[in-house]
Structure 1
Amino acid sequence: MTERLTLTDLTRILREGAGTDEGVDLDANILDVEFDSLGYDSIAVLETAARISREYGIHLDDDALAESRTPRALLALANR
C-alpha cells in the first residue's frame, strides 16, 4: 500500500528537485496555479514525477502526467 501524497509533500519535492523561483510562494494557495506560472517547466515536472515514484512507489503515466498542469491535478493523479 502506498502513502497518500499531500500538498506539503509535493512542495517539498518540488523545492528539493527544481528549487523555487524568486517571487513564488509555494506555501500560498497554489493548488490551481499552473506549474508554468510557478516556474516549473515540463522537465521539472518529470523530475518531480521521478522523485514521487522513487519515494512513494507511485508510477505516474507519462500521458496523464503531461495533462496534470497544476498541483491539484498532479496530486489527484498520484493518489488514484
Structure 2
Amino acid sequence: MSQQFGIEDLKRILREGAGGGSALEADILDTTFVDLGYDSLALLETGSRIGREYGLEFEDSALVDIDTPRDLVRVVNAHLLGH
C-alpha cells in the first residue's frame, strides 16, 4: 500500500509540533515557512515528526533548501516513493 503525504497532513503536524493557529487556515502551499512564522529549528522538528509518523529518515541537509510547504510535501512524497 502506498502512502501519500498532503498539505493537510503537514498542517496537522505543524499544529501539533509548533503551533501555528490561524496562519495555517489559508492556502499556504507557496507561502514561505519564514512568512508563516516557522524558523529552521521548527522545520527540523517538523521533519523529525514526519519521519517518526511515516517511518522515514531525513538527512538534516534534505530540509535545508525547503522554503515552502509545497517543497516539503514534494520531498516527503519522494521519500515515500523511495526516490
Q: Tell me the TM-score range normalised by the shorter chain.
A: 0.7 to 0.9
**Residues 22-61 of structure 1, C-alpha deviations (whole Å, 9 max, x = no match):** xx52121110111010000001000000000000112223
Which ranges of structure 1 fall in alignment gaps of 5 or more residues? Answer: none
Question: Offset of 1:20 from its aligned partner?
Answer: 1.2
The ranges of structure 1 where at least 4 consecutive aligned residues each deviate by more than 4 angstroms after the TM superposition are: none
Which ranges of structure 2 fall in alignment gaps of 5 or more residues? Answer: 79-83
CA root-mean-square deviation: 1.5
Number of aligned positions between the proteins:
78
Q: Work out the CA distance in 1 between the residues paired with 2:70 and 2:11.
A: 12
Residue pair 1:13, 1:48 contacting (<8 A) in 2 also = yes
**Which residue of the partner structure matches residue 5 of structure 1?**
5
Percent of pairs identical after alignment? 51
The structure carrying a bigger helix percent of its residues is 2
TM score, norm. by length of structure 2 = 0.85
**Which residue of the partner structure matches residue 81 of structure 2?**
none
TM score, norm. by length of structure 1 = 0.88
